[in-house]
Amino acid sequence: MKVGLFIPCYVDQFYPQVGIATLQLLEKFGCEVSYPAKQTCCGQPMANSGYAHLTHDCDRLFINNFAEFDYIVSPSGSCVLHIKDHLHDDKREGEATHVRTHIYELTEFLTDILKVEDLEAHFPHRVGIHQSCHGQRGLHVAQMSELVAPPFSKPEKLLNMVTGLNLVKLDRVDECCGFGGTFCVAEEAVSVRMGIDRVDDHVKNGTEILTGGDMSCLMHLEGVIRRRQLPIKVMHIAEILNSK
């Protein structure tokens, strides 16, 4: 299958190793992966700030870059959700629909499309998962704890395939970290307090490596960890699943 690799702006600029790990992981499972070099921001920051009317050029460019692929995969739940919910083009709505219905966050693509049941990965560490809000409540990659429903977690399912990995059980499994895109700028104090609360949960339960599917949330938590000089390392889930 032909897969278009969508790498969000902050991953491209600050965490290129996450994009590389995603590419290598997809290729391990036989995907023919291409990276459209002209891709830029998907438009999510503008849309979330109330300027959705300014994202039309972003939509058109996204369609130009990705309409030809069987699937589009990204290591970012929030950016994927933005495209799924908001990508439209009056002149090319058929192509826009194809993109919206064939874009996947990495862990849901591995579990739902590739049906991965085995990973040749080894990672001997205590790992704590941060379930980001967009991935959990928007893309449904994990069950919400407030619902009276059977629990599930696609990221956990994949991490449980990694030999040597010890999955940490948190007190509050799916609480928001406080990042929220532009929320962390508009409500800095609240955002920081929420981030501290999430990190404290990981510290209390012995997390060595804090992971998740949204590098934006992990970037926020990493900032808290660095400022408090805590012995926790932050890694995107793609890096762990791609480990040897």
Sign of the dihedral defined by the CA atoms of residues 146, 196, 79, 130, in that order: negative
Q: Does the pLDDT of residue 26 top 80, yes or no?
A: yes
Residue 223, pLDDT score: 94
Tell me what the pLDDT averaged over the chain comes to. Answer: 93
Give the mean model confidence (pLDDT) for residues 88-103: 96
Tell me the β-bridge partners of 74: 105
pLDDT band, very low/low/confident/very high, at 185 (cuts 50, 70, 90)? confident
Residue 50, pLDDT score: 83
Q: Does the pLDDT of residue 186 top 80, yes or no?
A: no
Give the mean model confidence (pLDDT) for residues 83-103: 95
How are strands ordered across the β-sheet holding 32-34?
A: 32-34, 2-5, 71-74, 103-105
Q: What percent of the chain has pLDDT over 70?
A: 100
Q: Does the pLDDT of residue 14 top 80, yes or no?
A: yes
